[in-house]
Amino acid sequence: MISIDTNVLVRLLTADDQAQAGKARHLFANNDIFITKTVILETEWVLRYAYRFASAKIAVALIKTLGQSNVRVEAAEQIAMAVELLQQGMDFADALHLLGSEDHAFATFDKKLKSCADAVAWQSVRLL
């Protein structure tokens, strides 16, 4: 199994560098792949800010890629739920923060995060 860096996943999803994208496709086609949640978090950020991908497009790309039979994901249930929350309009990083804190109350100054958490019935978010 090979663990990958963000740049490999971004090349695979964007194909903005044909040589690197080809290497990324070959790697995925011929190996079992492990992806850490930090790589997924960074990939979402890069796709949203650097490439200006819409949240819906990012969610579809992550679902297709992470759902491959040879791909394993750190904290797979949290990632799947975070992608679902992304599709519902929540910031991906915020979703991961909440999901990683599931056994604890969560405090924030972020009114948008509180509003999104309320909309998806996340019970333990407190606005300071």
Query: Could you report the per-residue pLDDT of 74-114, keeping only the tens digit for each?
Result: 999 999 999 999 999 899 999 999 998 878 888 999 999 88
- What pLDDT is recorded for position 82? 95
The per-residue pLDDT of the chain, averaged, comes to 94
Instruction: Work out the number of other CB atoms within 10 angstroms of the CB of residue 113.
Output: 21
| pTM of the complete model | 0.92
Place 123 in a pLDDT band, splitting at 50, 70 and 90.
Answer: low
At 68, the pLDDT band (50, 70, 90 cuts) reads: very high
What pLDDT sits at residue 17?
Answer: 97
Q: Between these two residues, 19 and 112, which has the higher pLDDT value?
A: 19
Q: Which CATH class is domain 1-74?
A: alpha beta
Instruction: Report the distance separating Cα 78 and Cα 47, nearest Å.
Output: 20
Count each helix (H run) and each strand (E run) in the chain, helices first: 7, 5
**β-pairing verdict for 33-35 and 71-73:** parallel
Domain with CATH 3.40.50.1010 in the chain: 1-74
Instruction: Please count the CA atoms within 13 angstroms of the CA of 124 that sit on its side-chain side.
Output: 11
